[in-house]
């Protein structure tokens, strides 16, 4: 194996670790569309249009992935969503 191949494999592995988890947001009968959109914009830095699309997906599908990343990156964001009354969990991709 060439040293370039080894470096590329290491980069690929570390990159996949960075994107290895996802926050799933679940539908509920409590929170309004506007509140969900506001939370996604404030906490996850979504653009308003992206947040609205996620809100519709959650509403119609029951859940949707709203953010990808490393577990360390996602934990505080998922906690912040939950603290605002949303139903969210982190799972592996």
Say if pTM beats, i.e. exceeds, 0.75: yes
- Rounded to 5 degrees, what angle do the CA atoms 69, 90, 20 make? 35
**Greatest distance between any 2 Cα atoms in the chain:** 56
Strand partners, 84: none
pLDDT tens sequence across 66-92: 999 999 999 999 999 999 999 999 999
Domains of the chain listed by start with CATH number: 19-92 (3.30.1390.10)
Q: Is the pLDDT of residue 27 over 80?
A: yes
Q: Residue 31 in 3-state DSSP?
A: coil
What average pLDDT score do residues 15-35 get? 89
CA dist 83 and 90 (Å) reads 15
Q: Strands 63-69 and 21-26, how do they pair?
A: antiparallel
């Amino acid at each position: 194996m060439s040293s370039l191949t080894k470096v590329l494999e290491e980069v690929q592995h570390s990159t996949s670790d960075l994107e290895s988890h996802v926050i799933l947001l679940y539908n509920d009968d409590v929170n309004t569309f506007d509140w969900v959109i506001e939370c996604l914009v404030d906490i996850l830095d979504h653009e308003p249009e992206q947040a609205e699309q996620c809100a519709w997906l959650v509403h119609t599908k029951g859940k949707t992935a709203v953010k990808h990343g490393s577990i360390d990156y996602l934990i505080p964001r998922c906690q912040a969503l939950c603290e605002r009354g949303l139903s969210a969990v982190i799972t592996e991709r």
